[in-house]
Structure 1
Amino acid sequence: MLYSAMSIIKVEINYKNLLIAAIATGVVVLLFKLQTIITVFAVSFFIAYMFDPVVDKFEERKIPRSVTILVMMALTAALIVLLLAWLIPVAASELQYLSNNVANYVDSLFGFVQTSAAVFDIQLDVNTLKQHIGSHSSDYLKEIFSSMSSLMSSFSSMVSVILNIALVPILVFYFLKDFDKILAKMLEFLNTRFKMDFTGYYREFDNILSTYFRGQIIVAAILGLLYTLVLFIAGIKPAVIVGTVSGILSVVPYLGFIVGFTVSVILAALQYGDFLHPTMVIAGFALVQFFEGNFITPRILGGSLGLHPTAVIFSLMAGGALFGIGGMIIALPVAAFLRVLINQRSAQ
């Protein structure tokens, strides 16, 4: 049995294979060391990829790419500034509301714990629990402030983060300016290296990926607005923060719903201490999920990526575990390309 298995999987151990294994190992180690740089370049290239069709449309009308890119970046920056000018005061107000009511929320939580203990006939002294948590709260706060101060004191790390953020628009400009040339060079290299035409693969890959990413951003924005609206109607604070974060997390299947729903139900119970407001949150989120599953996602995305949600989650988690945010950005394109490759091979 062992012999038959070995006859199927034959690995020739020679200097060439050992060299290939050593180079592959070195590349993986190098990528681990360059996670930050990979993230900056991956984010920049992703943004350039998203906006390239717009630049191409204006280029067809004889407008120079550089002019289109600069105007588009200026408009995007202005839109971001206006959005932040509205969002920051609202978020600050909601955070202030939360900080002013932390004591009330803690009392409500202990009341809920005591009531639940009585229902299930559990012997629990809430006052002792309060004293225990209160006696250690200073230690918890010290640890939190210590971590924050050490993070803030790491000047070199802060400078690195600022520089990386500042590099993104510069890289986006150059990626967009020469996007078609970069793509042509890559396809030429692949066609020559592997002696096959990758152009057809790229067209299918580009169609799948562009539809998915642009559609996913639109879906996430719609869900963020709908979640925020549900929380406003239910009178839950902070509506904007929870709704926005839930929308952003919706790029990962079900994550935005799970986080937003859980946090919103807990806040509703703590803020009002009744069954009406949590029920309103549950009904609102259920309604949003119904429209998202039956109308929003099918119309905007359809089956564009062609990957099962579990495959999407695994790809994102694997990419994030290996190479951070940059890995998460690269993961789905790699998964989509593998799907295209498998489909093309199956059709042949």
Structure 2
Amino acid sequence: MEPTKPHPIQLTAYSLLSVALALWLMHVGSFILVPLIWGVFFAFALYPITEWLENKRFPRSMAITLSIAMISILGAGIIYVLVNQMILLIADIPEIGTRLSNKLTLFQAEVSKVFGFTETEGLERWNTFNWLPLDNLNNTIFSTGKSLTLIGIIPLYIFLLLYYRDFFVAFLLKASSRSNEAILAWVSDSGKVIHAYLVGMLKVTFLVSILAGIYFYFIGINYYLLFALFIAIMNLIPYIGVIVSSVLVILYVFLTTDTFLLPIITLLVLWGIQLLENNLITPLIVGSKVKVNVLVVVLAILIGGGIWGISGMVLFIPLVGILKIAFDRIPGLQPYGYLLGDDFPVLENNQNFIKLLRKKWSKK
């Protein structure tokens, strides 16, 4: 007797439950998975360097150590500049707060004429806001320690993943019932996606920081290196990061200058840099290695942010690209791979197709 096939509704329910369970496990295991995924990505990015050193007769362990050391020194230098300027910026917060209070007082005087409440009432409402909540200080300290722990363990993951890379390839070949060529092609394509995305985004980040830094330097903004790197790093988070960083920088320019013209110019310059980055820099450097449509990118950012925070916003985009590659290579999942992609359908009888859809909807 042949086994009965499950109903399509049951298959859909099982699929949704599986996705929900996978997302829940990713959220619960974020302390382990986030540094591991970062380690995998950086391992793919550093693989060409380690391979070049190994071809120069360096032992594998020494080649990996040198690669990690070079990247760590570069990262430590950037972090030193950021922390140094951030400390100076924090020292100026009282003065910035005084300027904010003065400008808000002037602004409130104008608004009170429109809405009818007195300035005293407005100040009382303003003072009732809790602008610097300290109730979650313990959680903040715990999160900071947790982040430092994650950052510290990533180099270990990178070393082990690069050192045992041959074992992982052998495992995939032994565990798969498909042809070895298909598995190797999938691993190679996934590695190219990760490598192209990370290296390309690092180049884009460098160029955006240079452009923003030059502008901030010439208009005389204090801590121009900090704001330039802040703009460039937040640019790694598509759509959302650019808006948040631009608003904060424009607010700082507004508070530290006595004219409305400079914040407006800053808005226009940052908008121009963003247009240049989206339409010229990123297409030339990164290309279209992560071939997913904008809707999927936005959903990946939101889901990744909800599960893994800022790391999820950055990591989920190439992860979706890798998922698309896997779907495209599995016959039963190719429609889902097409759904994630950015290739618009070419229908010979497009008008007839639209008419057919309209007839079906009109009957309903």
Bin for the TM-score computed over the shorter chain = 0.7 to 0.9
> Is 1:242 aligned to 2:227, yes or no?
yes
Separation in 1, partners of 2:22, 2:270: 45
Residue 60 of structure 2 aligns with an amino acid whose one-letter code is R
Distance 1:331 1:66, change over 3 A: same
Per-residue deviation, 1:262: 1.7
Match of 1:332 among 295, 314, 317: 317
Match of 1:85 among 80, 83, 94: 80
Separation in 1, partners of 2:239, 2:191: 25
Task: Please give the per-residue CA displacement for 1:119-163, whole angstroms capped at 9, x wherever unaligned.
Answer: xx33242232223433x36x665xx233214644x6xx7765554
Match of 1:266 among 241, 251, 262: 251
Separation in 2, partners of 1:290, 1:145: 39
Separation in 2, partners of 1:160, 1:104: 35
Distance 1:21 1:341, change over 3 A: closer
Alignment of 1:132-281 (within 5 A): 132-134=125-127, 136=128, 141=132, 144-149=133-138, 151-152=140-141, 162-190=148-176, 192=177, 197-281=182-266
Per-residue deviation, 1:193: 6.5
Separation in 1, partners of 2:307, 2:148: 23
What is the match of residue 98 of structure 1? 93
Separation in 2, partners of 1:299, 1:160: 37
Per-residue deviation, 1:66: 0.7
Separation in 1, partners of 2:10, 2:279: 50
> Is 1:61 aligned to 2:56, yes or no?
yes
Alignment of 1:28-39 (within 5 A): 30-39=25-34
State whether residues 35 and 324 of structure 1, in contact with CA within 8 Å, keep that contact through their aligned partners in structure 2: no
Separation in 2, partners of 1:299, 1:325: 26
SS at match of 1:235: coil
Residue 232 of structure 2 aligns with an amino acid whose one-letter code is G
State whether residues 40 and 168 of structure 1, in contact with CA within 8 Å, keep that contact through their aligned partners in structure 2: yes
Separation in 2, partners of 1:219, 1:342: 29
Residue 52 of structure 1 aligns with an amino acid whose one-letter code is Y
Task: Please give the per-residue CA displacement for 1:13-49, whole angstroms capped at 9, x wherever unaligned.
Answer: xxxx99x999988766544432211112122222212
Separation in 2, partners of 1:282, 1:148: 34
SS at match of 1:45: helix
Separation in 2, partners of 1:307, 1:71: 35
SS at match of 2:68: helix
Per-residue deviation, 1:263: 2.0
TM-score (norm 1): 0.78
Per-residue deviation, 1:174: 1.0
Separation in 2, partners of 1:145, 1:216: 36
Per-residue deviation, 1:326: 6.0
Distance 1:271 1:86, change over 3 A: closer
What fraction of aligned residue pairs are identical, expressed as a percent?
18
Separation in 1, partners of 2:223, 2:16: 52
RCO higher in structure (CA 8 A, sep ≥6): 1
Residue 148 of structure 1 aligns with an amino acid whose one-letter code is L
What is the match of residue 122 of structure 2? 129
TM-score (norm 2): 0.75
What is the match of residue 305 of structure 2? 320
SS at match of 1:55: helix
Matched length: 327
What is the match of residue 296 of structure 1? 281
Task: Please give the per-residue CA displacement for 1:312-347, whole angstroms capped at 9, x wherever unaligned.
Answer: 221132133234466556533442133324545569
Distance 1:106 1:235, change over 3 A: farther
Residue 77 of structure 1 aligns with an amino acid whose one-letter code is S
Separation in 1, partners of 2:21, 2:327: 28
Per-residue deviation, 1:232: 2.8
SS at match of 1:197: helix
Residue 54 of structure 1 aligns with an amino acid whose one-letter code is I
In structure 1, stretches of 5+ residues that fail to align are 1-5
